[in-house]
Each structure stands twice: as C-alpha cells, then as structure tokens.
Amino acid sequence: MDADDLLEAARHLASRTGKPRQAFLRRAVGTAYYAMFHCLAKNCADLLIGGTGAQRSEEAWALVYRALDHGTVRNVCSNSQTMRAFPQHIQDFGNTFVTMQKKRHDADYDPQCSVFKSAVLADINGVETVLADFEATAMKDRRAFAAAILFKKRP
C-alpha cells in the first residue's frame, strides 16, 4: 500500500465539491492515518529486510511489514523517554501518529463525532509533511525506530 496513493485518496474524499458528507470526511481521516501506518510498515520491512531491488526474501519482507501493531506503535510513540532518543522528525512522526490514530478512532467509532472539511484537509497536509520529513531522516535513525516499534524491550 503506497502512502502517497492513500494521501491522494484522502484528499479526494475530503475535497468533493460543495459540502462533503460526514462519511467522506470521516473516511478521509482514516485514510490519512493509514498512510502513516503503511509508510511505517514499509519503512520497517525495507530497512530490516531490504527495499525494492534488493536481494530479499519476499516472505520475510511481508512478515516484517505485517508485524507492525497499531497499539504497540502508539505506546512507543507515547513514551516520551523512548521518543527523546530519536531526532525531531521521528518525534514529530510519533506525535502525529498518536494524534491521527485518535482522530481515526473517533471518526470510525464515535457516533457523535463531527469533522470539518478544513480540519481534515489540514490534517492531510500535516501528515504529508511529517511523512516527507520522516523519510528524509537518516536511515540509521529510522532503522532504530523500526527496532523500537517492532521488538519488545526486555528489562
């Protein structure tokens, strides 16, 4: 799943002419969150197994991609002590991930949640910026972040 494609889909859902329906806006919120999730899953698999064109096991790559757990990522990203060890762009990614996951949960499960087109478009633009900054961060730091979110820390 390509993060850029997901952001394009989110923007399409939120940018409908006139006043978009809540269903489209809510789905746009979820799609923007999933752009972050799939960017992170791809980052983990590419950095730990090998990117496109690398001599890699496709089964191992898919295993790492699918190993990412929403709750574990949220817990790591919410842990300020853990996150302080990473550069600012990874910290920004973590903060935005937690925020967007909460917004997705509200949009998907809160029957009284109401979202506004301008806020959704601002979130999509924010996610796009955070993803670009994250992907521009040094590979060693992104690899360390991948290890932090995929592997349980033992005492």
Q: What is the pLDDT of residues 31-68, one digit of tens each?
A: 999 999 999 999 999 999 998 878 889 999 999 999 99
Instruction: Find the mean pLDDT for residues 147-153.
Output: 93
- Percent of residues, the chain, with pLDDT higher than 70: 100
Please report the pLDDT score of residue 20 as a whole number.
Answer: 83
What's CA 130's distance to the chain center, in Å? 9
Structure tokens at 117: 């087109």
Report the pLDDT averaged over residues 90-98: 98
Torsion of CA 45, 47, 50, 52, to 10 degrees: 80
Written as one letter, the residue type at 62 is A
CA 45/CA 23 separation, integer angstroms: 32
Residue 11, both tokens: 């923007």
What residue ranges do the domains of the chain occupy? 3-150
pTM listed for this prediction: 0.94
CATH architecture of the domain with residue range 3-150: Up-down Bundle (1.20)
Q: How confident is the model at residue 119 (pLDDT cuts 50, 70, 90)?
A: very high
- Output the CA–CA distances (angstroms, integers) from residue 130 to 34, 77, 83, 86, 153, in the order listed: 13, 14, 15, 15, 26
